[in-house]
Amino acid sequence: MIEFTREAYDDVVDHAMTGGDEEVCGVLAGTFERGADAESRVVRTRPADNAAETPATRYRIDPEELFEIVEAIEAAGREVVGFYHSHPTGPTRPSGTDVARATWTDRSYVICALDGRPFVGSWRWRGDEGRFEPETVSVRPRDRSSRVAEDDRDEAETC
């Protein structure tokens, strides 16, 4: 299962909506767990430039930019939970290209499909098996009392 804070979930959808006919992409930060019954939590997103040659149907994060994003996530005391990208015209599941290019074993690959209402789905990459496994997506409601403390901490963070 992957759990998003409301803010992180909205960030993925909002970023996808700004992409128009092109795919957008980014990295998910939070706490990461491995294993069949793993539960990871996304508390922040880090948008990335889509460096693909054909961004209307592909996404690619430049390796240098990815390195910088991962360093910032780790410097903030978080882990890479996975990655997200959009499918402006569907499908709502990983494409053959997504399967062929997945490399981070046990990480979540989130897709925001925009072929109607936004749909956010997630799949764990099972690298040993060469396949994606669907996982439940949940969104944690905002908690006003903890939100104030989170906002104060975030002012000092870059992630």
Across the range 122-139, mean pLDDT stands at 93
Residue 70 maps to a domain: yes
Assess whether pLDDT exceeds 90 at residue 145. Answer: no
Assess whether pLDDT exceeds 70 at residue 12. Answer: yes
79 is catalytic: no
- Neighbouring CB atoms inside 10 A of 25's CB total 23
Residue 159 maps to a domain: no
Residue 138 maps to a domain: yes
> For the whole model, what pTM was predicted?
0.87
**Distance of alpha carbon 74 from its chain centroid, rounded?**
16
Assess whether pLDDT exceeds 60 at residue 146. Answer: no
> Got the DSSP string for 87-104?
EBTB-SS--HHHHHH--S
In the chain, pLDDT over 70 holds for what percent of residues? 90
Per-residue pLDDT tens digits for 77-109:
999 999 999 999 988 899 999 999 999 999 999
CATH number of domain containing 94: 3.40.140.10
Choose, from 3, 7, 22, 23, the residue flagged as catalytic.
Answer: 23
Structural domain of 148: 2-153
* β-sheet with 25-31: strand ranges across: 131-135, 119-126, 108-113, 79-87, 25-31, 40-48, 2-5, 137-140
- Looking at the structure of the chain, the number of domains it has is 1
